[in-house]
Structure 1
Amino acid sequence: MQLLALALYHRDGRPTPRVLRFRPGALNILTGESETGKSEILDIVDYCLGRSTPNLPDEPIDRTVGWYALLVAFRDSRMVLARPRPAGASTTHAMIRTGDETLDLPRADELTPNSNVAALRSQLSARLGIEDFRFQPPPGAARAAFDVSIGQAALLCFQNQNEIADKKALFHRQTENGIAQALKDTLPYLLGAAGPEQALRRYHLNEAQRAQRAAQRKLDDAHRHAAAVDASGLALLRLAQSEGILEEVPAAPAPEETRALLEQALTVTVSTIGPVDLRDRRQALNDERRDLREQLQQLDEALALVERWQKQGQAFTGELHLQLGRLKSLDLLGPERDHDSTVCPMCTRPLDEPDASAAEINRLTEQLSAELDQAQTIQPIRDEHRRSLQTEREAVVERLRVNGAQLRELAASDERMRNLQEQHVRIARVQGRIDQALTAGTGSSVGDIGRLRNDLVLAQENVATLQALIDEDDVTAETERRLTDIAANMTTWAKRLNLGQAASADEVAISLSQLNVVVRRPLGRLPLNRIGSAKNWIGYHLVAHLALHTYFRLHNRPVPNFLMLDQPTQAFFPAKIKDATTVQDADWATVTAYFELLRDVADLNEGALQIIVCDHANLTEQPWFQEAIVEDWRPVDGHRKALIPTDWVD
């Protein structure tokens, strides 16, 4: 994939875009004064290739541009990759158009989102030939697996003005979070040292190692569970012995013996004595006691009545004896017996009310005497009735005593029954715990542990087999071998540019672990950050990326066929410079040597590599340099030239 054109479309929809055309398979130079927008070209191309978070400047591009479009060419097709101006920090909208060699940039009125960044990257990756390669991180790594795409390949195609002079980092965006690790993970594939087969084996190895860890955990859990079951089983045996379920328990029984004894404890049956008959007996005794108390109360009331009658009879007969004794004095009367009761015997005067006659008094005396005799005959009957009531009361009292004793005995039986039932409950609880322990311990039997141990052995064998296949691949060694091939050109070109430490170097190479250039000398290995001067840092960046892309083209690797460099000659001019052509005392020989290397590498690749350089240097005396210029942004007749046209800003 190479770049054919870059277009910027005005936000107001004017029909004519700002277009930059590039020559494929050759050195392309954009030169001009500073602050004309040369450095922004790299960021715009990066954005059009699918970067979600653009690094575009605010002014004047943000104020004028509404769309960016990139026309790219593949071997037999073309694509238009257009992105709208991001409305915020990021955007995922995109426009994709594909066609043959006649496809060109779209008109302004044709720009409309028809896709997104994910689809754009997917199509670019497919056309580049990036296989369905999903990188699998090694076991225990914190990062997740990801699919290799244009997102990683494009990192090898850009060097902005800060990156190309960085002594600590070699690649585009390497210092951003996660980018360095992504480069380390994908560079072996992009170099051809690893492919989908190795990734699939790595994936299967990860799965096998995960299965092995799971099998190990299950076996360890089974052993721990078996040990816990043995300990709890012995405790249950002691408990069963204390409750009388088992008679004798060995001090240290074997696991098989423990299980047999626990199963034996479950066979012990406990008869349950129901309390229904006791409740019925207690109810009958209570009913009998209530009836006896009622009988006793009735007898007490009857005895009290008889006692009252006895006292009343004694009082009555005593009064009769007293009155009868008084009336007996009438028997002493003689002739006075016949005295007229209507006349006073003293004064012989008639009485208002006649007195009772002696005959009447005698008749009353006889009547009282008869009643007294009758009352005396009733007394023995009354005494007999009282004795009968007392005898009956004593019988009821005895029955109450017996009833109380029976109730007390029944209460004692209740206590014994409660104790027995509590023991039965404890026994049932122990048997329940034993049953639960035996059920839970089923999965930890010797046979199950043996099966889990066999599963672990099979998982270990599977891991060993896959690990052997991966060791045979030896991606790391193959990557180093390919980096060694790249180092041959790097060493030659570093000595050609006369870079620091290159003259005495055995090899100038790329370190995959450091993602930087290292110089191997007889005295030892020297990293780039220990080599001084920006001239050397830029030079080593140039030879590293030129050698990488030459290797990519030679081996037809799925990396875009272009390399964009921003300000590779910045080390030879003042920090603030408007036009490098005005600097007379610069090291123009070295600047020329840098550009000659770029030209020669482009020619070496015979049209397979496109190099785009944005710089403020202009070698006016070199015809080949002038032929490579695609844009010269220096004033002409007082008219300023830049990425953004003057009339757009005005």
Structure 2
Amino acid sequence: MITIGDLALEAPSSSRPLEVNADTEVVKDVLSERLRIERFRIEPDRGSLRHPFEVSSKQALLFCFQSQNEIANRAVLFHRQNEPEVRPTIRGALPYFLGASTPEQSAIQRQLLQARRTLQRLLIEIRAAEAELSQRDDRTFNLLRSAVALGLLSESDQVGNDPDHGRDLLEQILHYESESVDTTLSTEAVARQAELLEEGRGIRRQLREVDDRIALMTRLEAEQSDATSELAIQRDRLSALEFMRPRERHAAGHAGTCPLCDQGLPQSDETIESLQALLSDLDTRLAASRGSAARRESVIDDLKESREHLLTALRKNAADLDAAAIQNQELSEGRERREQVAFLKGRVSQELERGVHVEGGVEELRVAERRARGQVARLEELFEADDPTESLRRAMDGLSELITDYARSLELEGSEHYARLDPGELTVSYRRPGGRVPLARMGSAENWVGYHLAAHLALHHWFVTKDRPVPRFLMLDQPTQAFFPEEVVDATDDEDADWGAVRRQFELLKDVVTSLGGRFQVIVCDHANLADDWFQDAVVDNWRNGVALIPDDWPSKAT
């Protein structure tokens, strides 16, 4: 921080060197403390993306400056108002600096908001608890019907109109003892069923094997029968050779004897021998086939007998399995009933506990509701006694009267009507019979500058008289620019200027400062230079002929 004086902010002596010992944030906090700015947090509007901020000297200084481009600007009224972040800051901080919104009011408003939320929550909880109580009879009736269905109560048990009787029945259900469970029997039944299932699978597997063998033997028998029939046909065809056998006096089947005439042949005939051998082979094969068929039929009969035994065993297995399934179903139904009874007991226990909590909770909630209503009523009374909205409206009324008086002193457009400061739009307007006319719709730079002066002088008059924590100065840069050309150097020689309007501006500044008894200072940088003694007495420096706020030789001295 640059040390520039004591607690009164007086300028240091030339013998005391400047000392840098802090950053700008510390300077801001120190200035805020010396201005007696309270710790006050500005919350953004609901739904806004802006962050809250603490009021400080940084915001207070926005009401102390009017640059050359701002004082004659009909679109903005305050310093840096055209900056996106500054405009909502001014709108939020203005009620505090006017005294319409205080930390105490903010605290009461937050407490009132919290108390209303608490009351609303209690009302919701009371409605829910009362709904629980109104539905209790229905829930009790449903629980008792479930108990009757499970055999825990008889059909004669009824709730009636006595809630205590219903509670007694629920207690009876809660103390019901389920039958004991024979876990050994249940385990054996499950094991027996699994054993029968495995046995049935084995019998069916054996049955399939026997059926496959019977089908195979039957198929072989059919094929053998076809082959035997074919052999028999061939043997019948060769049986004609019996008529060609030689006479008994010849060797049987002798190839040198003619089978027709029984005469000797000069050479033996091999065909006759072959035919006779084939016939003999066919006889042998037919005899073997008949023997094989008989054995195969015997095997098929044995397989069919085995199949009958397997079918009998399978039917017995199915009967045993049905019996085991019935036993397991009975055991399962017993377990299911026990589970249903246990589940019903849990619901009953929950209902009994809920009834106790709800009945006691409703009374507690109603007591808390009465306390919350009393708290809300007290806070509403405090808030209404010092309502920020009403306080801001009263402040605007007082400021508007001052602005109207100052506008009439300056003979501004619309000053015959009532001028008013709009804290939401951050502008000045006057209302005529045809409607409201804001600063942006007023004509001529004289009116723009004039209403800037009227508004800021009215604000500082309020700040001073209400002892608000705003620096007691207002710096204006060229308020008379509307009356002189831009290139003018010394307005004293400008005969075309509206010196009457210029005089009215400075006389208004003088009158406001005088009325505040030296508690307010106006700093003006301007080309105008009136010859009046009061004006000349107020001139501190006359920057002309090379003399300026920043002398020309400063850069050379710095090097």
TM-score, normalisation: structure 1: 0.56
Matched, 1:542 2:453: yes
Equivalent in 202, 211, 236 of residue 118 of structure 2: 211
3-state DSSP of counterpart to 1:595: helix
Which whole-Å deviations, capped at 9, do the CAs of 1:40-73 have from their partners, x for residues lacking one?
xxxxxxxx9xxxxxxxxxxxxxxxxxxxx69578
Structure 1 residues 461 and 146: CA distance shift in structure 2, 3 A: farther
3-state DSSP of counterpart to 1:636: coil
Equivalent in 418, 423, 430 of residue 344 of structure 2: 430
3-state DSSP of counterpart to 2:449: helix
Q: Which amino acid aligns with 1:435?
A: S
Q: Equivalent residue for 1:127?
A: 34
Matched, 1:419 2:333: yes
CA–CA distance in structure 2, aligned partners of residues 583 and 193 of structure 1: 45
Structure 1 residues 283 and 188: CA distance shift in structure 2, 3 A: closer
Structure 1 residues 573 and 276: CA distance shift in structure 2, 3 A: same
Structure 1 residues 156 and 252: CA distance shift in structure 2, 3 A: farther
CA–CA distance in structure 2, aligned partners of residues 240 and 163 of structure 1: 85
Structure 1 residues 489 and 640: CA distance shift in structure 2, 3 A: closer
CA–CA distance in structure 2, aligned partners of residues 170 and 155 of structure 1: 11
| Structure 2 contact 70–79 (Cα < 8 Å) conserved | yes
Equivalent in 515, 525, 528 of residue 426 of structure 2: 515
| Structure 2 contact 546–552 (Cα < 8 Å) conserved | no
3-state DSSP of counterpart to 2:70: coil
Structure 1 residues 170 and 197: CA distance shift in structure 2, 3 A: same
CA–CA distance in structure 2, aligned partners of residues 559 and 519 of structure 1: 26
3-state DSSP of counterpart to 1:163: helix
Q: Equivalent residue for 1:24?
A: none
CA–CA distance in structure 2, aligned partners of residues 559 and 195 of structure 1: 15
Q: Equivalent residue for 2:469?
A: 558
Uncovered stretches (5+) of structure 2, i.e. residues with no partner: 196-315
Percentage of identical aligned residues:
35
Matches within 5 A, 1:51-62: none
3-state DSSP of counterpart to 1:563: strand
Structure 1 residues 405 and 538: CA distance shift in structure 2, 3 A: closer
| Structure 1 contact 136–202 (Cα < 8 Å) conserved | no
Q: Equivalent residue for 2:440?
A: 529
Report the Cα offset of residue 463 of structure 1. Answer: 0.8
Matched, 1:466 2:374: no
Matched, 1:495 2:415: no
Which whole-Å deviations, capped at 9, do the CAs of 1:443-479 have from their partners, x for residues lacking one?
4x23312321332232122111211122122444444
The answer to which structure has the higher helix fraction is 2
Q: Which amino acid aligns with 2:183?
A: P
Which whole-Å deviations, capped at 9, do the CAs of 1:128-186 have from their partners, x for residues lacking one?
12344556789999987754432332222122334323435433344545655554554
Q: Equivalent residue for 2:487?
A: 577
Matches within 5 A, 1:188-587: 188-193=95-100, 195-223=102-130, 235-248=142-155, 261-276=169-184, 412-439=326-353, 442-443=356-357, 445-502=358-415, 504-505=416-417, 507-520=418-431, 526-574=437-485, 577=487, 579=489, 581=491, 585-587=496-498
Report the Cα offset of residue 560 of structure 1. Answer: 0.7
Report the Cα offset of residue 563 of structure 1. Answer: 0.8
CA–CA distance in structure 1, aligned partners of residues 317 and 495 of structure 2: 138
Matches within 5 A, 1:83-232: 102=12, 107=17, 110-111=19-20, 113-117=21-25, 119-133=26-40, 147-177=54-84, 179=86, 182-193=89-100, 195-223=102-130
Report the Cα offset of residue 121 of structure 1. Answer: 2.8
Q: CA RMSD in A?
A: 4.6
| Structure 1 contact 133–195 (Cα < 8 Å) conserved | yes
Structure 1 residues 570 and 255: CA distance shift in structure 2, 3 A: farther
Moved more, 450-459 or 241-250: 241-250
| Structure 2 contact 159–165 (Cα < 8 Å) conserved | no
Structure 1 residues 557 and 588: CA distance shift in structure 2, 3 A: same
CA–CA distance in structure 1, aligned partners of residues 123 and 63 of structure 2: 43
Structure 1 residues 493 and 463: CA distance shift in structure 2, 3 A: same
Moved more, 464-473 or 147-156: 147-156
Structure 1 residues 274 and 134: CA distance shift in structure 2, 3 A: same
Q: Which amino acid aligns with 1:272?
A: S
Matched residue pairs, number?
438
Structure 1 residues 613 and 481: CA distance shift in structure 2, 3 A: same
CA–CA distance in structure 2, aligned partners of residues 124 and 477 of structure 1: 30
Report the Cα offset of residue 278 of structure 1. Answer: 6.6
CA–CA distance in structure 1, aligned partners of residues 367 and 90 of structure 2: 41
CA–CA distance in structure 1, aligned partners of residues 41 and 134 of structure 2: 44
| Structure 2 contact 190–328 (Cα < 8 Å) conserved | no
The answer to which structure has the higher strand fraction is 1
Structure 1 residues 216 and 515: CA distance shift in structure 2, 3 A: farther
Which whole-Å deviations, capped at 9, do the CAs of 1:210-259 have from their partners, x for residues lacking one?
32233234334434555677766555444444333344476998877765
Structure 1 residues 523 and 566: CA distance shift in structure 2, 3 A: same
CA–CA distance in structure 2, aligned partners of residues 474 and 283 of structure 1: 84
Q: Which amino acid aligns with 1:611?
A: V
Q: Which amino acid aligns with 1:206?
A: L
| Structure 1 contact 135–199 (Cα < 8 Å) conserved | no
Report the Cα offset of residue 562 of structure 1. Answer: 0.8
Matched, 1:607 2:518: yes
Q: Which amino acid aligns with 1:431?
A: K
Report the Cα offset of residue 101 of structure 1. Answer: 6.0
Q: Which amino acid aligns with 2:414?
A: Q
CA–CA distance in structure 2, aligned partners of residues 583 and 214 of structure 1: 73
CA–CA distance in structure 1, aligned partners of residues 107 and 172 of structure 2: 55
CA–CA distance in structure 2, aligned partners of residues 456 and 643 of structure 1: 76
Report the Cα offset of residue 208 of structure 1. Answer: 1.8
Structure 1 residues 218 and 277: CA distance shift in structure 2, 3 A: closer
CA–CA distance in structure 1, aligned partners of residues 472 and 495 of structure 2: 35
Report the Cα offset of residue 542 of structure 1. Answer: 0.2
TM-score, normalisation: structure 2: 0.64
| Structure 2 contact 150–341 (Cα < 8 Å) conserved | yes
| Structure 1 contact 510–517 (Cα < 8 Å) conserved | yes
| Structure 1 contact 164–538 (Cα < 8 Å) conserved | yes
Structure 1 residues 561 and 571: CA distance shift in structure 2, 3 A: same
